[in-house]
Amino acid sequence: MAQSFAWAAELVAGVLEGGNLTDAYERMQAAHPEWPEATRGAVRDLAWTTLREFRHGSVVLDHLLQTSPATLIHALLLVALARLRQRPEQSHTVVDQAVQAAAALMPGLKNLVNGVLRNALRQRAQWPAWVELDPEARHGFPAWWIQRVKTAHPAAWEAALAAGNERPPMAVRVNPRRASIEQAQAELEAVGSACRRLANDALLLERALPVARLPGYAEGRVSVQDAGAQWAARLLDPQAGERVLDACAAPGGKTAHLLERADVELLALELDPVRARRVEHNLARLGLHAEVKVADCRERARWWDGRPFDRILADVPCSASGVVRRHPDIKWLRRDTDIVQFAAQQAQILEALWHTLAPGGTMLYVTCSVFDEENAGQIARFCARHADALRLPIEGRPDLQLLPDAEHDGFYFALLRKQA
């Protein structure tokens, strides 16, 4: 456990210094190919849990420390406090292992770690009161984030924030070209993983499984994809023979889903060459084909041949506020001003793509955000600029906003038709 604490502390320290958690974790895995599955899971769980509860741990440390220690030791203390909340019955073991981790990371500060954690245990009864007095700690999000969600979703803001601090659900998508939903369900249940079929045919697992242990994954029968994300291909509803654009394609889940549903001519664009290769690898595993280009979708002259598209999936870059439980570093690295910048980028993408859509064609605008400025507000502004943009209802509503819950992450969908 001590070594896992040390590795997790390194990941958390990287975030405290402004780094990306997922990228750091992938680099760490690559540097330790000898890690067994249990170690990978333990390090990930420790780091992700710590950052979901970052402000909670920070409030406790604010009451225990007069001056902040070195970033790495500060991170280690946060990891240990998160573990103490998670496993209170192991308190003495947690303290002992954290001290051992400190001895390996910064030997001169192991006594500090020991003293702070033992003091924390003595004052454990006061933790709830300290947290209750701090809204950021109570809700687990920065104040500006809380206010944006509260304004956009006044009837559901507390539930949305609470869900954003839970462990994310795991869902799979069945490739109908290689398996039936019933077959996939039976295979999952045969390995002891019960699942439930949702309204959009996503299979929601009762408990998460390592991807390598998913029956049918290597053979391309199933893919891991959040249940909310699986609405995109169904809503765009491509038809055989149509020309389709996936404008921001990586890592390729929605691209593949479109191709699984219909025989279409699909162009997938991705700005990052490394992420573009991930799209190609995902398609190859599933036995699917699309033209994949590395390009900025806003620069039409670099990628568009002038032939209009019948359908466009505009899954635009966004704050990722709807998937923050999968990327808990986001809520502490983002700034309120970032949302304005994302909205401006999204508007540029919409303008560029609208020119490539055929009259009578359909565009699905998608974000994994719960902020209005990126969602309903963005679409309202776009439609005000474009008289030829007709909003198509989704299940009787102008659009579809999914807030994170026990079944899916947070997503926004708006369907637009280009009038002739």
Nearest Cα to Cα of residue 365 among 346, 387, 384, 381 = 346
- Phi, psi (5° rounding) for residue 203? -105, 115
Q: Which among 248, 297, 318, 368 is annotated as catalytic? A: 368
Round to whole Å and give the CA distance between 231 and 242. 19
297 in active site: no
Q: Which residues fall within 8 angstroms of residue 331, CB to CB, at 6 or more apart?
A: 140, 141, 142, 145, 164, 321, 324
Q: Which helix (H) or strand (E) holds 324?
A: none
The gap from C-alpha 329 to its chain's centroid, in whole angstroms, comes to 11
DSSP 397: B
Q: Is the dihedral of CA 64, 65, 71, 73 positive or negative?
A: negative
**Bond into 317 cis (ω within 30):** no
Query: How far is the first Cα of the chain from the last one, in angstroms, to the nearest whole number?
Result: 64
CB neighbours of residue 44 within 10 Å? 18
Round to whole Å and give the CA distance between 282 and 272. 16
Nearest Cα to Cα of residue 359 among 313, 308, 415 = 308
C-beta of residue 206 within 8 angstroms of C-beta of residue 195: yes
Task: Tell me whether residue 306 is exposed, middle or buried, using C-beta atoms within 10 angstroms of its C-beta: 0 to 12, 13 to 18, 19 or more.
Answer: exposed
List the catalytic residues. Answer: 368
